[in-house]
Structure 1
Amino acid sequence: MAADMETLTSSKRVFINNVDKYTSKYVAQFLSSCVPGASYVAKQFEDEEEIKPSSQGGTFEIVGTVSGSEKKSGFAVEEYSNLTRQELFHHLKESDVVVYNIYNENADQIEEASWAVSALHGDMNSFPRPKTFILISTLMTWALIKPLDTDDAKTPFTEEDYKRRKPHHNFNDHIAVEKLVVKLGRSNQSQFSTYVVASGLQYGMGEQAFHFFFKTSWMGEEQEVPIFGDGSNFVPTIHITDLAGIVQNVIDYNPKPQYLLAVDESHNTIAEIISAIAAALGPGKTRNVPIEDLILLKELTQAEIDHLFISLRMEAFFVTYNFSIKWVSKKGIVENIDQVVEEYKLARGLLPIRICVLGPPAVGKSTVSKKICKHYKLHHVKLKETITETLAHLESKVQMEESNEDDESQEAQELLNTLKTNMEENDGRLDEQCVLQIMKDKLKTKPCINQGFVLDAFPKTYNQAKELFSVEEDENADKQSSIQIIPEYVFCLDATDEFLKERVLDLPESVVQETSYSFDTFLSRLEMYRKNNSDDEIVINYFDEQEIPPQHIEINGEDPEYVLVMEKVIKSVGKARNYSSTTKHLDEEQKLAEIRLREEEEMSQAEAGHIEDEEEQQRAQCWKEWNGRLEEAKQQDEELLMTEEESAKQYLRCTVMPVLSQGLSELCRIRPSNAVDFLAEYILNNNPEME
């Protein structure tokens, strides 16, 4: 025991590449909390308590490269990026253990892993202490192996069969580096030991290859989760934490076999796995779709697609019987789906938001509820629509299953008959108990439990709230699901009666018909609301008792688009706890944005054209007016000139022409040598005024 405990007195430095990627991240995070040698000692002394870090022996010291993440991991003492080969080799030599992950997301590290193991092997004689190299690879290097027994394809492969393995054509580089690692570790195992850990399809802690199916089920937008192909292929799997536990054991044990399988005990088909995910998170229904449809998916990489179609039965014989592993999911994902789902929600930050919006009629509850649903991607739950939806669903279910006389179809038929009878007895309306049960069933559906909901204008009374949200007393009832439907936030919208009356009077006729808000009907509903909320036991008092204090928001005409209301809601609720827009939504939003842009451009062009036409008309009118004025001025000038000309002629006829005519006659008769001087002297001598 003393010799074994001595292995715990010193920490080990472990180098892991790309500690910001899925596989490396969770392996590194797991090792950072483990004591070196702990798994070996635990195996030798299985009755002893778990060995934990102490002042005598610390945890593994994690260092490693990152692919570009700016945020520090928190579990690695040193993180490196953009290293030269010389700098990288320096860090590798300083480490006791080197782990290179070339699984799916790290396929670009294959060349570097080959270089690293070769460089370390070439320098191993200078190591101050023994060094271990572990390559985390993939079972895709086994994808085309021939069955051990052609008559019995169910016989599983074990580590001993690794020399017979044949890779998928996309994973030839992986098997090449696997062979190199095994080969270089045989020359001097005491100084430089090497191992290959061939991992099954990984799951857990937020998911990787299975993430598409988790997300599709969670979002609830598809009524049936797709299974590509017939789904009959057997997929070897391993929980990411169990993979990390195997790596820990390899470090602690330094086992003789160099090639190890990392798979759990499950032998599930891909159809069984997807069906389990759909049942735990979504509608519970699946459908087989053509493999070609995968081409349309952007969420899955080619390597992940290849893994989903592998078909192998594997058994990690050596790992199971020689290592000390505290299995998280030994029986596989299907058997442990509830635990895996909880990990998925926690790792992805997917938590439901449950909201109740209350208030008098016509205050805008539905409008605000729709805005909240759009912002947080929640489900809008309204009483009338839920009842209609329930009846339609039961009708459809009964019609589809008329040929199947099973218990489920009989229950649907009985419930439908009960509801119809109840409506006949109550003038087409359901009594309160039926309404409450329908609403409770709606809030317990997977979409509402997963993403959350906005409960619009219901419950209306204290007793309804108590019945709807109370935890079941029956021991067989699902108390957890009752707790999961209680709203976290209650918003009470309110306004003065005068404001509400004016709003209803101003509603367009089309809106009045759509909402059944005739003025008389509205007044009776408003009166009923005020009465229900004037007693001691009112609906908001129930939430107060449950320590969910309602938040009152005053509605007035200064905020017609409810911008200020939404600011208050968002400030109270905080950030969304759901996925951001999916690729499908982004495509739709982009198309809508393009349509809106085109419409805006067309409107802008039309408006510009209209303005240009108006300006052209104005210019034409101005030009016409200017020409008219110019013509008028020209005509006036001509008339003035004609008047002045006539006056000048008259003046000349009366004063100048008689004398001038006589002078010209005399000039012609005499013909003097200087005619001008003669004429001037004649006119001067014969001027009538001088006489």
Structure 2
Amino acid sequence: MNPNPQEPTTTVQPLKAIIHGPPASGKSTLAQRLCKLYGAHYVTVKTMIEEILEDLRERIAMKRPKVEKIIKEDMGEEEEEEEEVEEEEEEAMGPVEEWEEQYRDITISLEKSVDGQLPDDYVVRLMKTFLVNDTCQRSGYVLDGYPKNIQQAKEIFGQAAEVSRPNAEGDGTGLAVPGEGGGEGAASPVQDQIGDLIGNASNKIMPDFVFSLQATDDMLCERVMRLPHKIIQSKNYDEVNMLRRLALFRLNNTEENTMLKLFDDNGIHPVLLNELDEDTKEPVDFECIWTTVITILGEPIPGFGLSPEEMTELIRLEQEQQKLQQEEFRLERKLREESAMLNYQDKMERWADTLQKLQMEEEKILIAQTEPLRNYLMKYIFPTLTKALIEVAKIKPDDPVDFLAEFLFKENPEGKMFDPSYTRDGEHVLEQYETNIQPSIIRSCTSNL
């Protein structure tokens, strides 16, 4: 499937493929494996921008010393050659200034972006240029998760791109942003850069294979929940972002507006890889999907990409990494559960302590509120009632309730208030008489006798 870069006349074509599918469906794993096995170039929007910026930095760093040297040498030229010197300086500075402008344009656009992404039309222009460069054309490419919708697919693959590549160094490997300027001699004819057309699409950048991973939202969410926390954060798989990305993917891939339809209409029939077994409704092992893809693509050319032994070792390492991730997830879950239990116990202890303090405060308030009632009972009720209860305990009458009632009525000093002739003053005088006067009278009578 892959071409040999050392033999450009070979009839074997480089692998050009697009991996399509919802988030967390395994697109990156499949794409990276294909690139390692077939020696193709791994492409995402992020890696594309990084490589373009790195290429611009290297070219500017390589060219600027030469330009400065030319300017320094030209400063010693005679005045009559001033016009020729200026032309030579402008010619030397032209590509560098253009590259610097492109670099600033990309970096400023990234900084101004709210989500750290370039505008959609800018990404499309960059991608069309990137796929036609020598690296992707010589080694092939595997495009991971892009284009995301049918409009992007039409912009990139549905029409011939207007591409300009500076060739100041003569190596033809530079990357340039289409539509961003370019000096005289910096652009080649479109046919030389893009190739012949199939209908309205370029056969030089058009993929030969489109693989679409099929999975349900529930399955993907369950898969994400089993990932370690650091992977979830690094890939924006948290609940809010995951649900948002899934909803956007489904919106962009309905039966009528999916980008797969564009390729199907151009004779590139997408291969649907179902990750859920239709019979058992269980997830399909990734190695089964990998075997299906390899069967479709065929064996790679020996000596190009990884050997079978190296690929086997790579798969073994990936499987070990998956086991480590599963173990990391298990340990994280265990730590979360232990932390949650400790947190629960701490909250229960604090709640119990708070409840105890509240009960004590309620008791204090209740005591304060019932103090007058207690004093009243202690003064007027308890003395007589205590005496009555003692009598009941001593006598043990057959009808203790009636006995208690009669005793209370008899012994209660206040019970005399029902007597019409009773007054408190009279009761007081009677008590003084019975206490002080009556004993004296009795003594006197006794002495006279």
**TM-score (ref. length: structure 1):** 0.33
Distance apart, 1:564 and its partner CA: 0.9
Aligned-partner Cα distance in 2 for 1:543–1:581: 27
Displacement, 1:556?
3.5
Shift of the 439–579 alpha-carbon distance from structure 1 to 2, 3 Å rule, reads farther
| Cα 1:579/1:546, change in 2 over 3 Å | farther
8 Å contact from structure 2 (residues 16, 142) kept in 1: yes
Cα pair 1:377 1:578 within 8 Å, conserved: no
Tell me the equivalent position of 1:576.
300
Distance 1:444 1:400 in 2: 23
Instruction: Tell me, yes or no, if the aligned pair for 1:362 and 1:504 is still in contact at 8 Å.
Output: yes
What one-letter code is carried by the residue in structure 2 that aligns with 1:567? T
Deviation at 1:476, TM superposition (A): 3.0
Aligned equivalent of 1:472, options 160, 175, 181: 160
Q: Do 2:19 and 2:211's aligned partners in 1 also have CA atoms closer than 8 Å?
A: yes
Residues 399 and 351 from structure 1, CA distance in 2 versus in 1: closer, same or farther, beyond 3 angstroms? same
Provide the C-alpha distance between the structure 2 equivalents of 1:421 and 1:575, rounded to a whole number of angstroms: 44
Answering whether residue 45 of structure 2 is matched by residue 358 of structure 1, we say: no
Partner of 2:47: 385
Question: Given that residues 471 and 483 in structure 1 are in contact (C-alpha distance below 8 angstroms), is that contact kept between their aligned partners in structure 2?
Answer: no
Post-superposition Cα deviations, 1:545-565, rounded to whole Å, max 9, x if no partner, equal 211111111113856751111
CA contact (8 A) 2:41 2:139 kept: yes
User: In the alignment, is residue 376 of structure 1 matched against residue 38 of structure 2?
Assistant: yes
Q: 1:570 is matched by which residue type in structure 2? A: I
Q: Is the 8 A contact 1:376 1:578 kept in 2?
A: no
CA distance in 2, matches of 1:503, 1:561: 13
In 2, are the aligned partners of 1:442 and 1:448 still within 8 Å (CA)?
yes
Of 231, 249, 252, the match for 1:511: 231
**Equivalent in the alignment of 1:495:** 215
CA contact (8 A) 1:373 1:380 kept: yes
Asked if the contact 1:357–1:456 (Cα under 8 Å) also holds between the matched residues in 2, the reply is: yes
SS in structure 2 opposite 1:464?
helix
The residue number in structure 1 matching 2:264 is: 544
Shift of 1:387: 1.3
Query: Which aligned pairs between 1:378-457 and structure 2 lie closer than 5 A?
Result: 378-405=40-67, 406=92, 407-427=94-114, 428-457=116-145
Distance 2:155 2:49 in 1: 17
SS at match of 2:64: coil
Q: Within 5 A, what are the aligned runs for 1:166-185?
A: none
Q: For residues 321-380 of structure 1, what are the alpha-carbon distances to aligned partners after superposition, in whole Å with 9 as ceiling and x for unaligned?
A: xxxxxxxxxxxxxxxxxxxx653x23xxx4211111100111111111122222222221
Cα shift at 1:535: 6.2
Residue of structure 2 equivalent to 1:530: 250
> For 1:538 and 1:466, how far apart are their aligned partners in 2?
11
* Residue 461 (structure 1) aligns with: 149
Paired AA for residue 522 in structure 1: M
Letter in 1 for 2:62: M
Q: Within 2, Cα distance between the matches of 1:383 and 1:560?
A: 28
Number of residue pairs matched by the alignment: 250
Matches within 5 A, 1:79-118: none
Name the counterpart of 1:313.
none
1-side partners of 2:47 and 2:276: how far apart?
A: 28
The Cα of 1:489 is off from its aligned counterpart by: 0.7
Aligned equivalent of 2:387: none
| Counterpart in the other structure of 1:562 | 286
CA contact (8 A) 2:194 2:205 kept: no
Shift of residue 432 of structure 1? 1.3
Tell me the residue number matched to 2:422.
none
1:622-667 alpha-carbon deviations (Å, 9 max, x no partner): xxxxxxxxxxxxxxxxxxxxxxxxxxxxxxxxxxxxxxxxxxxxxx
SS in 2 for 1:430: coil
CA deviation digits over 1:492-523, x for unaligned, max 9?
Answer: 10111110111111111121133121121111
After TM superposition, the structure 1 = structure 2 runs for residues 30-429 of structure 1, keeping only pairs within 5 Å, are 218=5, 343=9, 345-346=10-11, 350-405=12-67, 406=92, 407-427=94-114, 428-429=116-117
The one-letter code matched in structure 2 to 1:411 is E
Does the aligned pair in 1 maintain the 2:31–2:144 contact within 8 Å? yes
8 Å CA contact retained: 1:471, 1:479: no
Relative to structure 1, the CA distance from residue 376 to residue 561 in structure 2 (aligned partners, 3 Å threshold; closer, same or farther) is farther
Structure having the higher Rg = 2
Question: CA, structure 1 residues 560+388, in 2 after alignment: closer, same or farther (shift >3 Å)?
Answer: farther
Higher helix share goes to which structure?
Answer: 2
Q: Which runs of 5+ in 2 are unaligned?
A: 68-91, 163-187, 197-201, 318-449
Separation in structure 2 between the aligned mates of residue 433 and residue 544 of structure 1, nearest angstrom: 24
Distance 1:362 1:403, change over 3 A: same
Q: Deviations over 1:663-688 (max 9, x none)?
A: xxxxxxxxxxxxxxxxxxxxxxxxxx
Structure 1 residue 462 displacement after superposition:
0.8
Paired amino acid for 1:523 = L
Q: Distance in 1 between matches of 2:117 and 2:161?
A: 29
**Secondary structure of 1:542's aligned partner:** helix
Indicate the SS of the match to 1:460: coil
Q: Distance in 2 between matches of 1:510 and 1:418?
A: 33
2:38·2:305 contact (CA, 8 Å) conserved in 1? no
> Do 1:451 and 1:578's aligned partners in 2 also have CA atoms closer than 8 Å?
no
Distance change in 2, residues 1:412/1:589 (3 Å): same
Per-residue deviation, residues 214-264 of structure 1 (Å, max 9, x unmatched) = 96xx27xxxxxxxxxxxxxxxxxxxxxxxxxxxxxxxxxxxxxxxxxxxxx
Please give the secondary structure, in 2, of the residue aligned with 1:403: helix
Local SS of the residue matching 2:143: strand
Given that residues 358 and 490 in structure 1 are in contact (C-alpha distance below 8 angstroms), is that contact kept between their aligned partners in structure 2? yes
- Distance between the aligned counterparts of 2:292 and 2:257, measured in 1? 27
SS at match of 1:490: strand
Q: Larger relative CO (CA 8 A, sep 6+): 1 or 2? A: 2
- Partners of 2:273 and 2:264 lie apart in 1 by 16
* 1:577–1:534 distance in 2 versus 1, CA, 3 Å: same
Identity %: 30
Q: Whole-Å Cα distance in 2 between the matches of residues 561 and 373 of structure 1?
A: 20
Contact residue 505 and residue 519 of structure 1 kept, 8 A = no
The structure with the greater share of residues assigned to strand is 1
In the other structure, the counterpart of 2:431 is none
Alignment check: 8 A CA contact 1:351 1:578 kept: no
Take 1:470 and 1:532, find their aligned partners in 2: how far apart are those partners? Answer: 17
Distance 1:399 1:533, change over 3 A: same
| Root mean square deviation, CA, Å | 3.1
